[in-house]
Amino acid sequence: MKPKFSFIDLELEKIKKDNLYRKIESGISQGPTITIRGKKLLNFCSNDYLGIGPSKMKINQIQSSSRLVSGNDESFEKLEKKLARHKSQKASLIYPTGYMTNLGSISAIAKKGDIILSDELNHASIIEACKLSGAKIIVYRHNDIDDLQKKIKQKSKNKFVITEGIFSMDGDFSRLPEITEIAQKQNAITILDDAHGDFVVGNGGKGTANHFGVSKKIDVYISSLSKGLGSFGGYVASEQNVINLNINKSKSFIYTSALPSFLVEYSLKQFDSNRGKQQKKLWENTKLFSNELHRIGYKINSKSHIIPIIIGNEKTVMEFGEFLIKKGIFAQPIRYPTVPKNQARIRVSITAWLTKKNIGNSFSIFDEAFSKFLK
Ligand X SMILES: Cc1ncc(COP(=O)(O)O)c(C=O)c1O
- Interface residue list for ligand X (CB under 6 A): 97-99, 102, 123, 125, 164, 168, 193, 195-196, 224, 226, 234
Q: Which is nearer to ligand X, 123 or 159 (CB)?
A: 123
Q: How many angstroms separate the CA atoms of 92 and 253, rounded?
A: 13
Min CB(197)–ligand X separation in Å: 9
Min CB(227)–ligand X separation in Å: 7
Q: Which is nearer to ligand X, 32 or 98 (CB)?
A: 98
Strands 136-140, 234-238: pairing is unpaired
Q: Which is nearer to ligand X, 103 or 369 (CB)?
A: 103
Q: What's the burial of 326, exposed, middle or buried (CB within 10 Å: 0-12/13-18/19+)?
A: exposed
Min CB(96)–ligand X separation in Å: 8
**What sign results for the dihedral spanned by CA atoms 366, 368, 372, 374?**
positive
Min CB(104)–ligand X separation in Å: 12
Q: How many angstroms separate the CA atoms of 116 and 287, rounded?
A: 36
Q: Which is nearer to ligand X, 262 or 366 (CB)?
A: 262
Find the residue with minimal CB distance to ligand X: 98
- Strand residues in the chain grouped as ranges (E): 27-30, 33-36, 39-43, 91-95, 115-119, 136-140, 159-164, 189-193, 220-224, 234-238, 306-312, 329-330, 333-334, 344-349
Q: How many angstroms separate the CA atoms of 371 and 351, rounded?
A: 26
Min CB(202)–ligand X separation in Å: 16
Q: Which is nearer to ligand X, 159 or 227 (CB)?
A: 227
Min CB(102)–ligand X separation in Å: 6
Q: Which is nearer to ligand X, 348 or 369 (CB)?
A: 348
Residue 298 to residues 37, 173, 338, Cα–Cα distance (Å) = 29, 19, 22
